[in-house]
Each structure stands twice: as structure tokens, then as C-alpha cells.
Amino acid sequence: MTNTSKPVYDSASYRGSAIFELKELGKYRYLLGQLIRRDILTRYKRSILGIAWTMLNPLGTMLILTFVFSNFFKTEVAHFPVYILSGLLVWNFFSQGTNAAISGLVWGGSLLKRIYIPSAVFGVSAIGTALVNLVLSLVPLVIVMLIDGAPFYSSLLFLPIAILILTAFTLGFGLLISSLAVFFPDVAEMYQVLLTAWMYLTPIIYPETLISAKWLPFYKINPMYWMVKMFRLPIFEGRVPSWNELLPALAWGIGMLVIGWIYFTSKSEEYAYRV
Amino acid sequence: MSDLEARTKTSPNDSIIMLDNVSVSYRLPSERIGTFKEYAIRKLQRKIKIQKFWALTDVSMQIRHGEVFGIIGNNGAGKSTLLKVISKVLKPTKGRVVVHGKIAPLLELGAGFHPELSGRENVFLNGALLGYSHAEMEAVFDETVQFAELEQFINSPIRTYSSGMYARLGFAVATAHVPDILILDEILSVGDEAFQKKSRERLQSFQQQGATVLMVSHALDSMIGMCDRIAWIDHGIVRKIGLPEEVIADYRGDNI
């Protein structure tokens, strides 16, 4: 108004738009990398095995579940350890990523009150960290497949696409739930219960054949049903998902990302007031 | 260009920060609704009354390029809110803020340091939080470590640092680059006397290089010497803006 040069900051034309926040995120990409690096380095910094825990954790859970299920439920799935581990990796990625998005925004909130940072940085870096962990935990999956004598199919080349769709869904959901958790602190607690129920409602630790035909349509409402299926088919059945199997996953992935991003950014100017 | 020239020759045209009828309201914490159930019930009963607390009301001011501008007022008067509105942390509820330069916030030093990371890693992390790129931090890294006097300890985890070392590193990172606008919120007392002197000299050199300084302090006497102009904020309203001696005299008169 009084100065002819272009202002660096003008509150009248600022924030609240999805496109604007995307540009801001691009400007802060170095911070994104730094936050992911920090989270990966510090998580196991003082443990002796260090980052190996990223791989040992799902392996341990898989061993317990395999033992329990193959002894008590007498499942007839071949290569059951591979079946469980492939499902667990998807689930761990989703639950860790979304939980980290919640705690990341709450932690970041103490900074958001003091300095300007685009608020989406915390959610995006949380999912980025979970993504690095997911890729690392493919190593134990390969080891278990080798030990178990499971075949390696060329359809494994589809996995990057599956991971991309899964990441889009997780990021969208993580942004949405972390935003809600800021306005309603109870959401973070409720979400833990929801996650447990959600995991048992998704065929991760039990074979899909256990679901009765009567209930299967209800299972198919669950987006994670499609995510796990999409990830598991190339590993387990040696084929790329059919369009009928891929489209629901793709629609959930893109739809959730768009909804999550628009909702999160529409509230972006309120976080510094509320966190 | 000396300070005196800057003070006398400037017209409103070189304002670097402009606030136009800025108001900021907070919701009162007691009104915060914590559960969906509570929210749903109140929504149904149409009982969601948002009680607002106006931290700033119709604040207008122009801060000129290169000046040292002080803000005084009692606790809770709205000084920190004013700084937050200018450093784009808070968007004003009403009114408009226009800033023509990059701001270096010095609100709380070392916020965002991670105890398990080394001093070196924290310099880059903190620089990233302040909006700098890797190349920008690389360029000032050695000088920053030297200024903080932490050459020997820079590869140790920051949890092993004393509080003085911690604050020195925070100050050094936050002031690693010469900003257009420097915001100081009562933090000129970092480290021992020698380091305080060094940090004052660094801030003065920023001013000489043309930086605009915005400071909030309760040390009124030292502000008379440092500031070109002072604004007195009282209950979110600007009571007076003018020469340091006059504003501080009025402020003191009001508080007797």
C-alpha cells in the first residue's frame, strides 16, 4: 500500500487455500527432509541394535502371530508367515504414519505458536518417516520369503505403485485425523481404540477365506481391505490386481488425499491459535 | 546512513511493516470444547457461545525501514500477540498486516532442538525450521559454531550441553543470517557477560547493515538509548507512539 515493492507477507492474501499450502510445502522441502531424518535417526539412537529394530519389530510380531494362529486356528494358508507379514507391513505403515501425524502436529504446535512454519510439514514428514520404515521392512519380508521357500513372482514389480496408493491414502487420512485431534483432544485417544478394532476388521492376521459370504460386502466398505489386498496379491498370489480390485484402492487413495489436504489446509490459520 | 538521518528523513513511504486496524481475538480457554459428545449436545442446544477475548483492538502503525522500534506495556497488554501477528504466526482476526522483508524470529531460542542429535545436526534442523535451505546453512555453519564457541562440542549430542551452551547455539543459529527485520522478545540475556556483549554487537551490526529491529522489553531505561521510536500498548490498544523519552514518561506516569 505504502511501499511500491512487492510485499513478502500480506495477511490479506494469505493461507487457507489448498494450492497456496502446497507451494509453501515446496518452499520448506528442506525442512521436510530434516524432520524425516531426525525422526529416523533419533528413534533408536540409544539402542544397541539401532535402526535394525525397524525390521525386527514386525518380524517379532509376525513370529508370535504365526505361532498362535498356526497352532490354535489350524489355518490352511500356504506360506502363512509371508501372508501375515505382508499384511502387517501395510497395517504398521498406516497406524504408525497416522499416529505420528497426530503427535507431530501436537509437537509442532509448540513451534507454530512461535515461528511461522507451514503446518502441513509435520503430517507430511510423519508419513515420510513411516514410508522409509516401510521400505526398510521389505528386507525382513524378503528374508522370510526365502526361509519359507515362497516363490518370487515378477508381479512384485507392482509393489511401488501399491505403496504409492497406500501412501496417498495414509497421508490424506493422517492430515484429516491430526486436524480433528487439534480441535477435539479426545480424538487422539479414541483413535487408538478405533485402530485396534479396525485392524481386526481387516483380513491381516486371518485369511480372507475365513470371512463368511454374508459379511464380505461389509468388509469391502473398509478402505484398508483394498489396501492390504492390493499389496498382498503381487507377493502372495503372483499377480497384479485386476481393475476391479485396483479401482477401489485407487479411488480411496486419491479421494482421501484430496479430502484430507483440503480439510487440513482450510484450517491452517487456526492451528497456531488452538494447538 | 546514520540512525539519526534515517529517523528524520524517512517518509511513510519507506514503511517496512504496516498494520492497518489490526484486531486479534482469542477464544477463552474455558470455552474450549473437548469432546464430540459435548460439541454435539451444545450444537443441538445451540449453546455454542464463542466468548472472545480481544488481545489487540484496531492497532495501526507503520514501522520504517532501518529503525529500532520498541514495544512496551504491562504483562498481558498484547505485546507478544503483536509480534506474532507481524511474524505471520497468527493471522489477524480483522485488519491487515503487510511486511516488506524477511523476518528472523527470535522468540524462544533453541525451540525445536532435539536432545539426541548432535550440535551440528541441530544447526541444520533449526535452520530448516527457520526457513533456510541446506546451502544457506552450509554457508554460515563454521561461522555459527565459532560464534557460539562450541567448536569442540559440535559433534556431541545436545543433551550433553549446559543450558548456556544450548542458548548460545540457539542465538547463533537464529542470527546466522542478516535479516531484513529482527524480532527480539526479551532475550538479550543469553550466556555470560562476554557472550552478551558479543550478541549485542551482532545485533548492532545488523542494524548498521540496514536491518529493522523490533523489540519488546521491560528494561525501559536501556530502551530509551536503543530505540528510535516506541509504541505503548495497553489492553490491546495503542496508547501512544512516539519518541522513547516521551512515551516512557507517559507510561510511567500512568503506572504510578
Residue A2's pLDDT band (boundaries 50, 70, 90)? very low
Q: Does residue A146 belong to any structural domain of this protein?
A: yes
Q: By CA distance, what is A4's nearest residue in B? A: B13
User: Which residues in chain B touch residue A184, judged by CB atoms under 8 angstroms apart?
Assistant: 33-36, 39
The pLDDT score that the predictor gives to residue B106 is: 66
A222 lies in which domain range?
18-65+77-204+213-274
Strand B103-106 to B181-185 pairing: parallel
Mean pLDDT of B25-36: 64
Q: What is the CATH number of the domain that holds B214?
A: 3.40.50.300
Query: A-B interface: how many C-beta pairs under 8 angstroms?
Result: 120
Residue B200's pLDDT band (boundaries 50, 70, 90)? confident
Is the pLDDT at B6 greater than 70, yes or no? no
Residue B230's pLDDT band (boundaries 50, 70, 90)? very high
The reply to whether residue B89 touches residue A116, judged by beta carbons under 8 angstroms, is yes
pLDDT in tens, B114-158: 999 999 999 999 999 988 999 999 999 999 999 999 999 999 999
pLDDT in tens, A146-190: 998 889 999 999 999 999 999 999 999 999 999 999 988 889 899
Q: Does residue B130 belong to any structural domain of this protein?
A: no
User: Which residues in chain B touch residue A7, judged by CB atoms under 8 angstroms apart?
Assistant: 98-100
Q: At what angle do helices A29-43 and A18-27 cross, to 10 degrees?
A: 70
Is the pLDDT at A75 greater than 70, yes or no? no
Instruction: Give how many domains chain B has, as a whole number.
Output: 1
Q: Does residue B195 belong to any structural domain of this protein?
A: yes
Q: Does residue A70 belong to any structural domain of this protein?
A: no
Q: By CA distance, what is B183's nearest residue in A? A: A115
Q: Does residue B239 belong to any structural domain of this protein?
A: yes
User: Which residues in chain B touch residue A33, judged by CB atoms under 8 angstroms apart?
Assistant: 128
The pLDDT score that the predictor gives to residue B1 is: 40
Burial (CB < 10 A; 0-12, 13-18, 19+), residue A104, is buried
The reply to whether residue A15 touches residue B132, judged by beta carbons under 8 angstroms, is no
Q: Does residue A61 belong to any structural domain of this protein?
A: yes
User: Which residues in chain A touch residue B111, judged by CB atoms under 8 angstroms apart?
Assistant: 110-111, 114-115
> Per mean pLDDT, which range of A42-46, B42-46, B88-92 is the poorest?
B42-46
Q: Which three cell numbers stand for residue B198?
A: 558479543
Q: Does residue B24 belong to any structural domain of this protein?
A: yes
Instruction: Give how many domains chain A has, as a whole number.
Output: 1
Comparing C-alpha atoms, which of B161, B231, B170 is closest to residue B195? B170
Among candidates B97, B102, B130 on the partner chain, residue whose Cβ is nearest the Cβ of A115: B130
Chain A closest CA to B10's CA: distance in Å? 12
| Ordered alpha helix ranges (H), chain B | 3-9, 36-44, 79-86, 119-129, 134-148, 163-174, 193-208, 220-226, 244-254
| Ordered alpha helix ranges (H), chain A | 18-27, 29-43, 52-72, 80-112, 120-136, 138-148, 159-183, 186-200, 216-219, 223-236, 243-266, 271-274
The reply to whether residue A272 touches residue B36, judged by beta carbons under 8 angstroms, is no
**Does the beta carbon of A193 lie under 8 angstroms from any beta carbon of chain B?**
no
Gap between the Cα atoms of B178 and B135, Å rounded: 15
Gap between the Cα atoms of A91 and A228, Å rounded: 8
Q: Which three cell numbers stand for residue B89?
A: 504466526
Q: Does residue A164 belong to any structural domain of this protein?
A: yes
Residue where the block lists cell 521389505: A138
Amino acid at B194: A
B97 lies in which domain range?
3-102+179-254
User: Which residues in chain B touch residue A41, judged by CB atoms under 8 angstroms apart?
Assistant: 116-117, 121
Q: Does residue B72 belong to any structural domain of this protein?
A: yes
Chain B closest CA to A43's CA: distance in Å? 9
Is the pLDDT at A47 greater than 90, yes or no? no
pTM of the prediction?
0.87
Ranked by mean pLDDT, the top range of A77-81, B198-202, B237-241, B250-254 is B237-241
Q: Does residue A10 belong to any structural domain of this protein?
A: no
What one-character-per-residue DSSP string does A3-25 give? Answer: -SSPPSEEGGG-S--HHHHHHHH
Among candidates B91, B100, B133 on the partner chain, residue whose Cβ is nearest the Cβ of A7: B100
The pLDDT score that the predictor gives to residue A48 is: 73
ipTM: 0.84
**Does the beta carbon of A242 lie under 8 angstroms from any beta carbon of chain B?**
no
| Ordered alpha helix ranges (H), B88-133 | 119-129
Among candidates A7, A31, A272 on the partner chain, residue whose Cβ is nearest the Cβ of B128: A31
The reply to whether residue B62 touches residue A273, judged by beta carbons under 8 angstroms, is no
The pLDDT score that the predictor gives to residue B33 is: 60
Is the pLDDT at B90 greater than 80, yes or no? yes
Is the pLDDT at B30 greater than 60, yes or no? no
pLDDT in tens, A193-205: 999 999 999 999 8
Better-scored residue on pLDDT, A100 or A51? A100
Among candidates A15, A30, A115 on the partner chain, residue whose Cβ is nearest the Cβ of B134: A30
Strand order in the sheet with B52-64: A9-10, B94-99, B15-27, B52-64
Residue B46's pLDDT band (boundaries 50, 70, 90)? low
Q: Which three cell numbers stand for residue A141?
A: 519380508
The pLDDT score that the predictor gives to residue A228 is: 97
The pLDDT score that the predictor gives to residue B8 is: 42
Is the pLDDT at B226 greater than 80, yes or no? yes
Chain B closest CA to A170's CA: distance in Å? 23
